[in-house]
Amino acid sequence: MSISTITSKGQTTIPQDIRNYLSLQTGDQVEFIIEPDGHVVLVPLTSHVRELKGMLPKPKKKISVKQMKKVIVKRGSE
């Protein structure tokens, strides 16, 4: 069982074994959800990079890495 103490400011430390289990890293956010039965659930708000697939539309025109670099250099000098 993992136990944590609440400070006078309402802060607590998530025990290391729980952080490891949830793959939480410094800067990650968590959400507290109150279930209908009264239990409180801690949910990590981290996303795996694979979950981002398909978020952006496919480009209308394909360009090469060489072309991208050329545009970056041009825009960087402006």
Residue 33 placed within a domain: yes
Per-residue pLDDT at 77: 78
For the chain, give the number of residues.
78
**Residue 45: C-alpha distances to residues 22, 25, 70, 75 (Å):** 10, 11, 37, 35
Amino acid found at 9:
K
Place of tokens 């697939």: 53
Residue 71 placed within a domain: yes
Calpha distance 6→14 (Å, rounded): 10
Residue 6 placed within a domain: no
Count of domains observed in the chain: 1
Residue 5 placed within a domain: no
Residue 7 placed within a domain: no
Residue 8 placed within a domain: no
Structure pTM? 0.54
* Sequential pLDDT tens for the chain (78 residues): 899 999 999 999 999 999 999 989 898 899 999 999 999 999 998 766 777 788 788 888 888 999 999 999 988 877
Residue 69 placed within a domain: yes
Calpha distance 70→60 (Å, rounded): 19
Owning domain of residue 43: 16-76
